[in-house]
């Protein structure tokens, strides 16, 4: 049996395609939902939309400071996993969230091998909680699934070179599988608060580095307001709190969190993406949408090639790079291989654990 530990929106999307491949091979999987994302628009809708197998349990951890959240997850995960030690061959974790680190810690404490999907990613910004989570998770894991050769390289530099597999990115599999469904089922006019035929920018801001300081967030919003185009911003719950008492420019239109299919539809019909999200940087690249990332660095360094993704850590750089697009004819496949990543992961796990 494989125990898969999930807790946040990006993990639900990734797990949907991997779980489907595990099922094809007859590999038994127990899904444990930590409850890190508990809002229906950030959790429940994804399970329904992506047809994920129902979780064996929801630990209902909910919102808390990172330290308290990880501690609660660790306590509840260990208590839940303990009776199944004779059955669980592996714990599978995704990405870089608090659920990822808590899952890896709980498994390591109980002597259960850990497999990490999206291993080897590095931004080298230790102020980012996600960077701490991914580094610690890699050093707790035994099996490593990397999205690119760069991830393999970073792991090797840290002394990790056993059972490291370069398989590509499961988010590419999800986009390939769900984009046609999004185009068929989702209507832009039901989402956008303006004419769906107008050109618009898709904006997402949710990271602590951009939302913890009111001045920082206000300056970003002011800069986006000067770009001369409509801006559609589906707001993450963390950003909703940070937006209180801030005045928005007239060109910025807010909405609540979108489902995965809705986000794919909107991104696919946008002119450009401005974001601080990791996953959306890749999705924009695959959809050939120019991206501006509101950070000083990105773990997805390959997207920076040929200026498909541009870093804009401050308002001045945001304004300066906005009018510059990628080099003509420069797009090339990234994070994808002949064998889809989700299929390769399931195959490798089947070969290792039978």
Counting as low any pLDDT under 50, the low residues of the chain are 40, 42
* pLDDT at residue 238, rounded to an integer: 72
Say how far apart CA 323 and CA 321 lie, in whole Å.
6
Contact between 305 and 323 under an 8 Å Cβ cutoff? The reply is: no
* pLDDT at residue 38, rounded to an integer: 61
- Position of tokens 């089922």? 185
* pLDDT at residue 37, rounded to an integer: 65
* pLDDT at residue 151, rounded to an integer: 97
All domains of the chain in start order, with CATH: 2-168+337-353 (3.40.50.2000), 188-322 (3.40.50.2000)
* pLDDT at residue 39, rounded to an integer: 56
Say how far apart CA 18 and CA 343 lie, in whole Å.
7
* pLDDT at residue 160, rounded to an integer: 98
* Given the residues 206, 236, 253, 324, the one annotated as active site: 206
- Per-residue DSSP letter, 147: S
Q: Do the strands 272-275 and 291-293 form a parallel or antiparallel pair, or are they unpaired?
A: parallel
Candidates 17, 106, 7; CA nearest to 53 is 17
Alpha carbon 219 to its chain centroid, in Å, reads: 25
- Per-residue DSSP letter, 11: H
Alpha carbon 49 to its chain centroid, in Å, reads: 17
Say how far apart CA 13 and CA 159 lie, in whole Å.
30
* pLDDT at residue 2, rounded to an integer: 95
Dihedral Cα 43, 49, 55, 60, nearest 10 deg: 10
Contact between 171 and 15 under an 8 Å Cβ cutoff? The reply is: no
Is residue 166 classed as helix, strand or coil in its secondary structure? strand
- Per-residue DSSP letter, 146: E
Which residues, including other chains, have CB under 8 Å from residue 125's CB and lie 6 or more apart?
Answer: 131, 295, 296, 297
* pLDDT at residue 241, rounded to an integer: 78
Residues forming beta bridges with residue 329, ordered by sequence position? none
Instruction: Decide if 236 is catalytic.
Output: no
pTM of the model: 0.93
Three-state secondary structure readout of 90-127: EEEEECCCHHHHHHHHHHHHCCCCEEEEEECCCCCCCC
Helix H or strand E segment including 310: strand 309-311
Say how far apart CA 249 and CA 163 lie, in whole Å.
51
* pLDDT at residue 222, rounded to an integer: 94
Could you count the other beta carbons within 10 Å of the beta carbon of residue 98?
A: 26
Burial (CB count <10 Å: 0-12, 13-18, 19+), residue 245: exposed
Residues forming beta bridges with residue 119, ordered by sequence position? 146
Residues 32-65 have pLDDT tens digits of 999 876 654 545 777 778 888 888 888 988 777 8
* pLDDT at residue 327, rounded to an integer: 84
């Amino acid at each position: 049996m494989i125990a898969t530990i999930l807790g946040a929106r990006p993990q639900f999307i990734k797990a949907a395609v991997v779980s489907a491949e595990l099922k094809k091979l007859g590999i038994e999987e127990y899904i444990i939902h930590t409850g890190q994302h508990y809002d229906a628009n950030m959790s429940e809708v994804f399970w329904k939309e992506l047809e994920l197998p129902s979780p064996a349990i929801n630990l209902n951890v909910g919102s808390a400071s990172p330290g308290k959240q990880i501690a609660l997850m660790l306590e509840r995960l260990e208590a839940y996993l303990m009776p199944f030690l004779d059955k669980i061959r592996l714990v599978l974790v995704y990405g870089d969230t608090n659920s990822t680190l808590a899952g890896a810690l709980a498994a390591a404490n109980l002597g259960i091998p850990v497999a990490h999907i999206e291993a080897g990613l590095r931004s080298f910004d230790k102020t980012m909680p996600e960077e701490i989570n991914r580094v610690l998770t890699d050093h707790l894991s035994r099996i490593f699934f990397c999205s690119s050769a760069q991830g393999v390289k970073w792991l090797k530099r840290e002394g990790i070179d056993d059972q490291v597999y370069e398989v590509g990115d499961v988010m590419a599999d999800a986009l390939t599988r769900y984009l046609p469904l999004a185009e068929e089922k989702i209507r832009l006019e039901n989402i956008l608060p303006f004419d769906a035929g107008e050109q618009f920018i898709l904006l997402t801001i949710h990271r602590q580095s951009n939302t913890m300081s009111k001045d920082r967030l206000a300056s970003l919003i002011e800069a986006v307001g000067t770009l001369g185009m409509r801006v559609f911003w589906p707001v993450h719950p963390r950003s909703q709190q940070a937006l209180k008492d801030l005045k928005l420019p007239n060109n910025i239109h807010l909405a609540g969190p979108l489902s995965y299919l809705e986000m794919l539809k909107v991104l696919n019909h946008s002119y450009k993406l401005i974001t601080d999200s990791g996953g959306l940087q890749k999705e924009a690249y695959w959809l050939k949408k120019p991206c501006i990332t509101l950070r000083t660095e990105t773990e997805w360094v390959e997207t920076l090639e040929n200026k498909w993704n541009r870093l804009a850590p401050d308002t001045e750089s945001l304004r300066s790079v906005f009018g510059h697009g990628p080099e003509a004819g420069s797009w090339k496949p990234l994070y994808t291989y002949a064998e889809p990543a989700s299929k390769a992961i399931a195959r490798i796990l089947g070969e290792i654990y039978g």
